[in-house]
């Protein structure tokens, strides 16, 4: 099956610095990607998404970049805050093998972001 991978399992940054979390994917036909944040004891929380017809998308303090040539995407968090400490997942929102337009998420293994005071 297709896989979505993350470059680093852990990332530590100083409060106020920018964070960059990377993700690689293998399916060149993938057209929709989502970044989720998961805090301890909670379900994944939607951060930002991007479709393959875009190279960049910005949200509040977050930016996702998509490089289809090398099948790589990244999540940039500006001015990282203690509340940003969590595990971050990239997910490929792909059409499954079932009927209709059903999609399923294929997740990477996650990057643990720790914000240092």
Query: Which C-beta is closer to another protein: that of 79 or that of 103?
Result: 103
**How many Å apart are CA 88 and CA 67, to the nearest integer?**
19
Residues 6+ apart with CB under 8 A from 5: 23, 24, 25, 26, 108, 109
Q: Decide if residue 43 touches another protein (CB under 8 A).
A: yes
Q: How far is the CB of 58 from another protein (least distance, A)?
A: 17
As beta bridge partners, residue 113 has: 11, 86
Q: How far is the CB of 25 from another protein (least distance, A)?
A: 15
Instruction: Tell me which residues touch another protein (CB under 8 A).
Output: 32, 34, 36, 41-46, 49, 89, 91, 93, 96-100, 102-110
């Amino acid at each position: 099956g297709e896989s979505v991978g993350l470059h680093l399992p852990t990332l530590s940054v100083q409060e106020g610095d920018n964070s960059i979390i990377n993700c690689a994917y293998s399916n060149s036909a993938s057209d929709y990607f989502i970044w989720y944040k998961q805090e301890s004891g909670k379900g994944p929380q939607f951060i930002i998404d991007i479709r393959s017809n875009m190279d960049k998308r910005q949200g509040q303090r977050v930016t996702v970049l998509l490089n289809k040539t090398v099948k790589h995407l990244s999540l940039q968090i500006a001015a990282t805050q203690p509340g940003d400490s969590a595990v971050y997942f990239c997910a490929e929102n792909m059409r499954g093998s079932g009927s209709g337009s059903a999609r399923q998420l294929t997740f990477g293994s996650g990057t643990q972001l720790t914000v240092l005071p």
